[in-house]
Amino acid sequence: MLPNVLRSSRNPRRRREHASPPLFWLEGRFFLAQRFTNEFPSAPSGLAIIGLGADPETFTQRYYDSRGVTRVYQMTLRDAVWTLWRESPGFWQRYRGAISENGSTITGAWKTSEDGREWRHDFGLTYIKVDAAV
């Protein structure tokens, strides 16, 4: 079930990134789209399209943002953990988010690496499912 409104924040107590509706099915319901807007001047807004991956139990996310950047991520949802990653020489990325028991929040962080071996924290990102009336 998709949330009516999903908020995300680099710091849940401060600014919020909003989109309405942020998640929606494309016609035919084969692909899920995620629209994101951002209040942080240094962070882009954009669109991600999610579909089945090449391997069983994986997904592929195609990312497009307001800077003209396009990226392809792999994605899994296992044991209440959402993982996104991409392996690109010089700029590897991964996000791991823990899904709460009631499914209302995903709390995680993005990390980056130049070589895929040594990772550094980039920023925390929390998704919060909220009532459509908000």
User: Which residue range(s) make up the domain with 83?
Assistant: 5-130
pLDDT in tens, 79-90: 999 999 999 999
* 61 DSSP β-pair partners: 50, 73
Q: What's the total number of domains in the chain? A: 1
Q: How confident is the model at residue 132 (pLDDT cuts 50, 70, 90)?
A: low
> Are the beta carbons of 41 and 48 closer than 8 angstroms?
no
pLDDT for 1 equals 34
Q: Both tokens of residue 38?
A: 């951002």
pLDDT in tens, 21-72: 578 999 999 999 999 887 777 888 999 999 999 888 999 999 999 999 999 9
CATH of the domain at 50: 2.40.128
